[in-house]
Structure formats: structure tokens, C-alpha cells
Structure 1
């Protein structure tokens, strides 16, 4: 292919490549006009609409560039398109305990809001705070919300399942509250069955579904020709059709989309051909970059001369493999290529499928498999409720089987900001190893830019925190605080000190945590979350009365602050002030956090309501029977019911909990319970950890 000349380097790029379209690029978006109108109607006409299709079908582009421009701003109130994952350089350890899916969605809806405030809100609470908009006739307009890439909800780890259940419960609550709320969910089709499992919870809402597949041949021609309007360039008659014809795919019996070989029978009746949007974008983007500057109209001959479609797609796959190797395979492209070849190509050069494992697939972490899926290197097929992976295209076989496949150098020209952006996206998707490697590379390339270095260090602290490495998180947050201090960034330093204070409690150093949090408050005196965390640190340090007084002052000043009510209710329960504890915890029901349920169970036991206490405790233990405070509340409830043997077992488990260790007063309480004479209640009692 010819290199791009200066005349060809137009400021207007008609094709976006493989990334999704943005709303401000709707003038370039062609071929999905019918689908955009249908989804717009479904979204506004149903309480919940599900848009589903395979990876690469263009769901995100369709929503942003196709559907949003059709919505009447006088008759709809459209929130920014949301995601249930979130990652940024903000020190996430500074946030109160929160549901990450709820926080991710609220961060999408209100990106300028303080993260510490968003972390304390429910979906219903956030939506209730928004002013009601009315149409020209004085009627409330529809409130349209969308969740893109909703497959991020469906992780397999137990905390993921809990957070998913709570998230869906909150969404149902929000829909119940506002009859004008309309929800659009975009999800990969291999997760549709999992989403459908939650339909009984949504039984009271009218629902619509819309499947999105590849582009039909006429629509693909429009997607190729349409963006060229106004560029001074165009295809000659029939050339775009010829281009699309070369890219057509039909569904094969084995699953993947396979290329249609051009022949004289192409225009005769037969199987309906399709074109994958990402393939069309790869080829059209390359064609635009190589378009001869003195050729305003491209002919078939020009097309054949300048664009060899199979080579372009194979080159895209090579580059994608190289980029994934640079992050997920420690730069070892040969190792990644060898794994892909051994796993997905048999000895005869045919494609083969492998099933997804619980955490790894054919020996590679599932997080890496998801990256390969996003890059269109792999595709997923759902069979009998199980996911099977295979190469996305037969064109991948040659790049994987060529002898020099491992010799392509890893790309090294990206800057620190680009690596940091990649790291942020990787962390948002749960790819911790990839996030750590990209963040480290960003740090290596940051040069003398102190602000950028500080942002990178804060982000690296987030990665360590998500991985459960408290010492690593502390080191990076502390370094970030030093760097931001030199820049005079008072607010950011306060947030980092708050994060460090929370981690000191996790370390079992509450006195140091109190000092760090008081210093953070000096910088951010109005931050409710820091006040609440300081109260927890005081309680851990043995100053329960001071903690309650601090929270009472905060609530008197700020009103209903859920995290402060929750903290005061739990601490009051621990202190044996049952009525006050129940009053506070009732104000934030339904109780989602196991520790709050366990605290309420203990308060109920203190007032003699043992039956309800046992029921509440069973729920808490089912969800978090390894939490040291849940175990201690459970032990004290068991003592109240007369089951001292179970109380001793639970107290012993609580003492063995490592992060954070029990406060000194509760260590003494646990030892007292362990020393009690052994008696047991009815044999139907629930044993710890069962």
C-alpha cells in the first residue's frame, strides 16, 4: 500500500476504525438507520429494553451515534450512557464501603460529582435528587437511562454475585419508584441467558428485546459510501458494492462467520450474506489512509491496487496480537501466538473450540481471554449453558502459523498518557495484571511531568488495593501524596490521606489511622466520608463514645447520611445500646451489607427478639461468614440464645481473621466467649461456615 501523502492527511476522518462511534460522530454513522429508529421506539415505549448481539456487532456505536441523536430533548431526559465498571486515578480506598456496580453507573451518569458522595448513594436516591423535567405541556418527560456492556455485571466470584444481586434490586426499586423511567440494557449475546434469569424480578415491567447482528449487504454499502459525503472523494458506481462483496460472511454450521468467495452466482438467490462492522471499518479506514491524493473517485482498479482486504485484516490481527502480548504476556508475542495456535488450530489447520474454565481457559487467565475477545481475535459461542471460545476468523490461521510470527517487535512508541488510559480501561474491566503492567510502563515514560507522575502513582495504588495488596497500595498512595503536595493540590492530598487512613485500619493500626484522617479533615473539612471513617478509626482504637459523638454531630448538621447512620447504628449495637442501633439501621433499610444485618441481629437479641435475630443473622452469615465483625455479632447472638458452644466457635473464627484484626476490646470479648462453659441449643442450629 502507498504511504499517506500530505494531501491525503485530511483533518476529517470519515471512518472511525475499530473503536466505537461517539454521539458527535453521528454524521459519519450509516447503515443502521432502521435499527436506530426501532431501538429508539422500544426504549421510550418499554420500561426495560435489552439490546443484544455478539462482540463487534456495533452495539455501543448504535446507541451513541444512531439512537441518541433521534431523541427529542424536549420530551426526554437522557442521562449519559452508563457502565457498571469504573476506574480512574481517584484513590478508591478513600471511598466508603460501596457496591462497585452502583458506583460505576452513578459515576457514568454524573462524572463531575465527588466520588465519595456517589459511593454513598443508591440508584433510587440519585434519581430522586434530580429535578423533574417537564415537556412544553407541563407533563413529566421520560427519563432515559442506558447501561452499555452489561456483561460486566456477571463475574463469577462470590462478591461479584452479591454486588450483582444488590445492583439489580436497586434498579428494580428505581423502576418501581418512577413510572417515567426507561431502562436500556446493551449486552453481549452470550450473557443474555444469565440476564434473563433475573426477569422474574422484573415481572411487573413491560420489556422489549432487540437482537443486533452483522450488517446486511445493502446496509454495509451505505456504511462504506455514506461517510465520504463532503470529503470531495467518492466511490465510482458499484465499487462500494464490490468492496462489501469481498467482505461478506455467512453463518457456517460450525459457528464462526466465514468469508463468501466471490463468484458469478453472487447476485442470485441464496443464503443472506452479512458483513461484520469492525471488518468494514478496518478496510475502509486503511483505504482512506492510502487513497491517492489525485484520485477523487476510486475505481475497481484503484481499489484492487491500493487495498488488499485479506492482507489488511491479517495485519490488523497481527497488530492486535502484538498489543495484547505487550500487556498480558509480558511482551512475549511468540508465547501468545504459540498458545493461540496450539489451542485453537488443529494439526490440519482447522479451527477448534475450547470451553471456558472457571478462572482460566486452556491455562490462560479469563481476563486475558476477554481482552482477546474485545480485540476480535477470539469469538465466544454459548452451547448448553457453557461458553466455548474459538478464533474469530480463518484469516487468523496464517498469522499464527507463519514461522516468523513471533519476530514482530512489540510496539514501543506509545506515550505515558496512552499507557495510563489503557491501564484505566483494563482496571475497569477487572484485568488487574494488564492494568498493573500498563501503569508501570506509564510511570517509566512519564519523564519530568510531576502531575502525570502523581496521577500514575495514585492509580497504581488503586490497582494494588483491588488486588488486595495493602502494603503496595500504601506505598503508591503515599508517593502520590508527596508529589501532589509539591503541586499544591490540597484537595487531592486530602483524598489520598483519607485512603491511607482507611488502609491503616486494615493494617491494624487505628491510632495512626486517626492521625491520618484528622490531617485529611484539615484539608477537606466538609467531606462526610472522611468524618465517617474517622469515627470508625476511633471505634477501632477503643473510643466508641467519641465515635458516636462525632457521627451525631455530623448527622445533626448534614441530615440523613446513609453511611453515617450505618456506622452509628453498628457502633451503637456493639456498645449494647439496642434501641438507638435499631432506630438508625431502620432508617437505611433495606440493609444490604452483611455487617449491618449482623449488627441489627445483635440489637434484636438484646431486646429479646431472638427469632427475628436468628433470621437476620442467617442472612448475614450466608453472605459474609468470613467477616470478623459479622462473626463477632453472630457469636454474641448465639450466646443470647444459650448456644455457647457455637458462640465459642464463631468467636474463635473471628480471632483468626487477618484483615483487619479485631479491635482490642472485641479481642477480649472473643476470648471471654471462647472460655464460656459449652452448651448447645437445638440440633438444627447453623454451624459457622456451613
Structure 2
């Protein structure tokens, strides 16, 4: 029996760098992107969801750059998984932490959390070729639209993060930044383009669906090393069918041909065709394509699976979802209709469901006159959507079935959270917890961390504490010391938010005992000791950290903040001036207090405004700003600023100090 190499198509997933030998159809575009990225300070790659931006970067552009005189970091992302307890990284920019962890996946998050983008790149040192000449440093951020998702807990970090990118570009003339972004968020990005471009050059590259010749290459060429091939006109027959749209409107059936092919649809149909081929077929003929490459059936199966998954993830009845899709996005004439995307709903459906449909390449969003409008991803989906009946297509492998394991429920929870539905994410994570067996302890620990993070984001400190503590106990059983320490550090911070300062210090001390060489955990202990009311003891810990590594940014920031609190403005500014990159709001507030103590009122007011704009509701920011306002004689505004602190509220120590000022 003839055997063939593994399937040449990737299906619904994106191509990776390891797939470059079977990535075809985008050679010209990959070359264009590589040239633009190399030549310009800022390059933007934009296109609709599912058009293949990630694939062309990973499998098309990166392999082309491998032989050139450039230094290329891994493709960056702005979000990371559920396992890390966010409370262990208080008041750190989540976009920065996620990006640096994707650029340096083997490095501890607690170490990366103390760095700005510029500091991270500087720490890598100058990049040169074998002759000692400097080479361009190419960095990229994929799915940059995540910057503009309207998650309330992340909005305050967007502008400081963009400022960090601009600072890094200004600092290194050899740095080249590429942002890959969905086209419906491109207009929102343009408001920041000038800041990122600075005085340098910029370019934008649009990625469109595949032209006919590109689609033919993507169908035919991946088979080159499989032992199987397409016969004359077979690939052409398949591409022609992918370009044919059939409508069923009030005036009867009709059809027409479009110019392009959606990459996702091509992969779905080609993968289905490959899997249907019996071993004895070495040449795929046009006749075989006509008999077995049923585009409508393949797309219908894809649509049914996607709708079942989304309905399950978002607790929407499948029939309701398919009916809404058909009635909202197909007109009486059988053509594509549109729907306005409101603040929370689109044509009566929650926007979290709409986002999931966009992510699954069923819908797309276009911006028209400043408003967002939704429609089907492609005309080729019209007939499958018309035929879709929730659950009526019959069971398919993996379709319409609730996830069978705790890990699958956790991944569903992560996906729902990415879609913006925190309540439903918690529901799925709790289901995952109930399903966990004795042999799934690592998954259980991740679930507890995930639930702790959700509680932390909404300010539910008791629930966050309980989850982080349970997670630490599971990691203890798994003998993962570093994970135990991170969970204890997170628990300590939320305990402090509840006013139990001594207990919070004990948790952080326990974390330090487990990872005595982790300087950032020691910094968190010092900060907790300070908030508990012992600034001199906190300074002692920080002096020890800085004696080991005098350039630890978190330690310098914390010591500067404490020195400002203790009324030592000159010493405070010496530390704070060493971390003058785009800073955390609390560090800016500490500088405002130090400047106020030195009677440099105009400078202090400018820093105050910046700190309050970025972090008005943060307890430490409010405390330091209130101190500065008191020093400048504005007690009424100081009291109002102190009342605004909710994430977290003021500690007992901070309330006592402010009360003494009266």
C-alpha cells in the first residue's frame, strides 16, 4: 500500500515558522513585507481577520530574513496565558509584561515585569554582524488590535505602552517595529502612528485575500514532497469552485464568480479533500475534485462546528445563533447584509458573541464614517449560512459536544475571556474546577490562578485570596517552588488590600524563603512591608536588593517612592531619575511629592496631572498625590483624590498618614 507524507495543509490553524516548506501563494507579499520592515522605522501590516497575517509573518517573512544581516526577535503578542497570578505583578503594564515574555519566553515574568521595552532591548546589548558592524533589530507585534479592545482594566495602560514603544524606537536608530493589526482597528491605530513614527519613516502594507494565481500555488505546490500531485486542470477546477458564489433569493437561484479566495476557506476545503483521498490515488484528477471537493459541504461543516462551539462557549442556543446569523446578514435577495455594532450588542446579540464569530472567520467588521459595521466574511459563506440549522447537520468529530475534560473547559474559559465576557469565563472555569480529577493537579493549579485573576480584575479581594492560596497548595504538592512563591506573593498583595498587613507580610516572607534569589519577589516584600507601616524596614530590604544588582528597576522605583514618602526628596529623585523611562503612575506620583517637598510647584503639578490621568483609582497613586497636594496647600483636592482610591483602597498606614496631615 502506498503511503504519503503527512497532510500538506494546516487547516484552521495558522502556519508556523516550521511550516515554511509548505507555505505557498504569498511569496511576493512576504518579500514586500520583509523589505518594508527592514527599511522603515515603523511598518504596519493590516488586513481582515483570517486573511493570513500571522501565517505570512511566521512562514513567509521570518524564513526570508534568516539569511540576512538582521537581528530578529520572536513575533510578539500582547496577552499571555492563565497560569501566572496577575496580583504578583501589581501596577505593572500588562501589555509590556506580555510582550517581553513573548520576546524572551524562557525568562521569569517577575524579572521582566521590572523592565520597560527600551530597558529590555538595551539589556540585550548592541547587535552586530561578524565584522562588528551594527545590524537592524527587527521586532514585531502580532494581533496588535488587542491594544484597542475595550477591557476596562487595560485601557489605562494603552497610552503608556505606546509611549514605551516610541521611547524604544527613539533610543535605537537601528530598531524596526512591525505591527500586524486587523483592518477594522487600523483607523484607531492611526491616531498613534505619528508618535511611533517619530522623525523616521513609516510604511503600511495591506494583505488581501488570495488572487487566482496565488490560490493555485497554495493548492498545488504543498503536494510537491508528498508523493501525490494534482493532474492537469485539477487545481484550477478546485480554485474555480472556491471562487463561485451561489445565491438563493426571492427571484430564484443564481451564481457568479469573485476574483479572490479566502485563505481559511481554501485550507478547509483542501484539507477535507486530502483526507478523503484513498491510498491508491497518487494523482488527483479534475473528475475526483468535482466528485469529492464539495466546497459547500466543507464550508457547511466548518460553519456548523464553529456555531456549535460558540453557542456552547457563550451559552446561546445553537438554533438561535444560526437563525440570528441568517436573518441579520443575508438579505431577501440572498446577498450579504450588514449590521451596526453598538456599544454592547449587534442586532440584539452580545458583542462578545460577535467577536467570537469574527475570530472564527465567519463575520468581519468594517469601519465606515467612524462606525463599525458587521457582515459575513465572504460571499462564499452565503449558501452555508442559508442552510445552517443549529444542531441539524448531525454530529461531527468534535462538534456540538461539551468539552470532556477540565483542561478543555479552561481553554474555553480563556477564549471567552479573550472575547470580553468575564462573567461567562468564570462560569466555564468553575466547571473546569469541578471536573478536575486527582491526575489533573497542574490543570487545577492553572484554574485556581485563572479564577484568582478574574477576581483580582474585578476587585473581589477575598475570592482572589482564596483562589491564589488554593493554587499555591496545589503547586506545593507538585513541588514547583517558583510557582508556589508567585501564588503566595499574589495572595499577600490581595491580603494587604483587605487591611491585614501583618498577614500579608508573612505571605511575602514565605514566598521569599522559597525563591531567595528572586530579587523582584524581595522587592514585593519590601513594598508590602512599607504599606504595612514600616518604611525603614522596607528600605533595608531594598538596600540589600540593590547591593546585589544596583540597576534593578523595580527596586529603584520602590526605594524612590518610599524616600519621597519619608520626606527625603533629594534622595528620592536620585533613584526616580534613574528610571525616567515611561513609568508606572505611582512612580510619577512619587516624583510629584518629592518636587512638592522641594517647593518646585510647577513641575510637581505637571507630574501630578500625569499620575492622576494614568492611575487615579490606584491606592498608592492617590496616596502620594494627596500628600503632594497637601504639601502645596490644596487640601480640598487632596481629600477628593484620596476618596477616589478603589483599586486597591488606601491601606491603614496610608489613611493614618493622611489623617495626621489634618
Q: Distance in 1 between matches of 2:544 and 2:511?
A: 18
Task: Say whether residues 1:92 and 2:83 are aligned partners.
Answer: no
* Cα distance, 1:535 vs structure 2: 1.6
Q: Check the 8 A contact 2:232/2:286 in 1, yes or no.
A: no
**Alignment root-mean-square deviation, CA:** 2.7
Task: Say whether residues 1:582 and 2:573 are aligned partners.
Answer: yes
Q: Distance in 2 between matches of 1:323 and 1:175?
A: 41
Q: Distance in 1 between matches of 2:335 and 2:255?
A: 17
Q: 1:323 to 1:157 in 2, by over 3 A?
A: closer
For the residue of structure 2 that corresponds to 1:229, the secondary structure is helix
Task: Say whether residues 1:596 and 2:587 are aligned partners.
Answer: yes
Q: Which residue of 1 aligns with 2:296?
A: 310
Please report the TM-score for the alignment, with normalisation by the length of structure 2: 0.91
Deviates more, 1:338-347 or 1:555-564: 338-347
Residue of structure 1 aligned with 2:426, choices 409, 414, 436: 436
Q: How does 1:438-517 map to 2 (within 5 A)?
A: 438-449=428-439, 450-517=441-508
Q: Check the 8 A contact 2:567/2:594 in 1, yes or no.
A: yes
For the residue of structure 2 that corresponds to 1:274, the secondary structure is coil
Q: Distance in 2 between matches of 1:155 and 1:504?
A: 30
Q: Check the 8 A contact 2:300/2:388 in 1, yes or no.
A: no
Residue of structure 2 aligned with 1:57, choices 51, 67, 70: 51
For the residue of structure 1 that corresponds to 2:579, the secondary structure is coil
Task: Say whether residues 1:27 and 2:21 are aligned partners.
Answer: yes
Q: Distance in 1 between matches of 2:477 and 2:563?
A: 41
Q: Distance in 2 between matches of 1:417 and 1:215?
A: 36
Q: Check the 8 A contact 1:96/1:120 in 2, yes or no.
A: no
Q: 1:120 to 1:411 in 2, by over 3 A?
A: same
Q: Which residue of 2 aligns with 1:265?
A: none
Q: Which residue of 2 aligns with 1:666?
A: 654
Q: Which residue of 1 aligns with 2:362?
A: 377
* Cα distance, 1:283 vs structure 2: 0.4
Q: Which residue of 2 aligns with 1:183?
A: 177
The C-alpha deviation readout for 1:529-569, integer Å capped at 9, x for no partner, is 22122122212222121112211222122212221222222
The C-alpha deviation readout for 1:275-324, integer Å capped at 9, x for no partner, is 11111111000001111222221222222222211111112111101111
Q: Check the 8 A contact 1:96/1:529 in 2, yes or no.
A: no
Q: Check the 8 A contact 1:87/1:425 in 2, yes or no.
A: no
Deviates more, 1:535-544 or 1:121-130: 535-544
Q: Distance in 1 between matches of 2:550 and 2:418?
A: 33
Deviates more, 1:657-666 or 1:519-528: 657-666
Q: Check the 8 A contact 2:30/2:61 in 1, yes or no.
A: yes
Q: Check the 8 A contact 1:21/1:61 in 2, yes or no.
A: yes
Deviates more, 1:209-218 or 1:625-634: 625-634
Q: Which residue of 2 aligns with 1:109?
A: 103
Q: 1:362 to 1:564 in 2, by over 3 A?
A: farther
Residue of structure 2 aligned with 1:412, choices 364, 382, 402: 402
Q: Check the 8 A contact 2:618/2:646 in 1, yes or no.
A: no
Q: Check the 8 A contact 2:432/2:447 in 1, yes or no.
A: yes
Q: Check the 8 A contact 2:242/2:266 in 1, yes or no.
A: yes
Q: Distance in 2 between matches of 1:124 and 1:429?
A: 30
Q: How does 1:517-666 map to 2 (within 5 A)?
A: 517-590=508-581, 592-651=583-642, 653=643, 657-666=645-654
Residue of structure 2 aligned with 1:390, choices 366, 372, 375: 375
Q: Which residue of 2 aligns with 1:327?
A: 313
Q: Distance in 2 between matches of 1:215 and 1:672?
A: 69
Q: How does 1:126-275 map to 2 (within 5 A)?
A: 126-156=120-150, 160-201=154-195, 202-248=197-243, 261=256, 273-275=259-261
* Cα distance, 1:346 vs structure 2: 5.1
Q: Distance in 2 between matches of 1:260 and 1:36?
A: 33
Query: Between Structure 1 and Structure 2, how many residues are aligned?
Result: 649
* Cα distance, 1:217 vs structure 2: 0.6
Structure 2: state its 5+ residue gaps: 248-253
Q: 1:542 to 1:672 in 2, by over 3 A?
A: closer
* Cα distance, 1:197 vs structure 2: 1.8
Structure 1: state its 5+ residue gaps: 1-5, 253-258, 263-271, 677-690
Q: 1:433 to 1:233 in 2, by over 3 A?
A: farther
* Cα distance, 1:586 vs structure 2: 1.5
Q: Distance in 2 between matches of 1:596 and 1:605?
A: 14
Deviates more, 1:468-477 or 1:148-157: 468-477
* Cα distance, 1:464 vs structure 2: 3.3
Detail structure 1 runs of 4+ shifted over 6 Å in the superposition. none
* Cα distance, 1:594 vs structure 2: 2.4
Q: Check the 8 A contact 1:85/1:104 in 2, yes or no.
A: yes
Q: 1:260 to 1:555 in 2, by over 3 A?
A: farther
Q: Distance in 1 between matches of 2:273 and 2:638?
A: 72
Q: Which residue of 2 aligns with 1:683?
A: none
Q: Distance in 1 between matches of 2:618 and 2:388?
A: 53
Q: Which residue of 1 aligns with 2:325?
A: 340
* Cα distance, 1:419 vs structure 2: 4.2
Q: Distance in 1 between matches of 2:138 and 2:621?
A: 39
Q: 1:457 to 1:83 in 2, by over 3 A?
A: same
Q: Distance in 1 between matches of 2:279 and 2:351?
A: 45
Q: Distance in 1 between matches of 2:636 and 2:55?
A: 60
Q: 1:479 to 1:584 in 2, by over 3 A?
A: same
Q: 1:414 to 1:61 in 2, by over 3 A?
A: farther
The C-alpha deviation readout for 1:507-545, integer Å capped at 9, x for no partner, is 222111101111111101112222122122212222121
* Cα distance, 1:335 vs structure 2: 3.4
For the residue of structure 1 that corresponds to 2:364, the secondary structure is strand
The C-alpha deviation readout for 1:218-252, integer Å capped at 9, x for no partner, is 111111011111222222101111110111179x9
Q: 1:634 to 1:146 in 2, by over 3 A?
A: closer
Q: 1:438 to 1:31 in 2, by over 3 A?
A: farther
For the residue of structure 1 that corresponds to 2:177, the secondary structure is strand
Q: Check the 8 A contact 1:96/1:563 in 2, yes or no.
A: no
Q: 1:360 to 1:623 in 2, by over 3 A?
A: farther
Q: 1:185 to 1:666 in 2, by over 3 A?
A: closer
Q: 1:669 to 1:446 in 2, by over 3 A?
A: closer
Q: Check the 8 A contact 1:224/1:240 in 2, yes or no.
A: yes
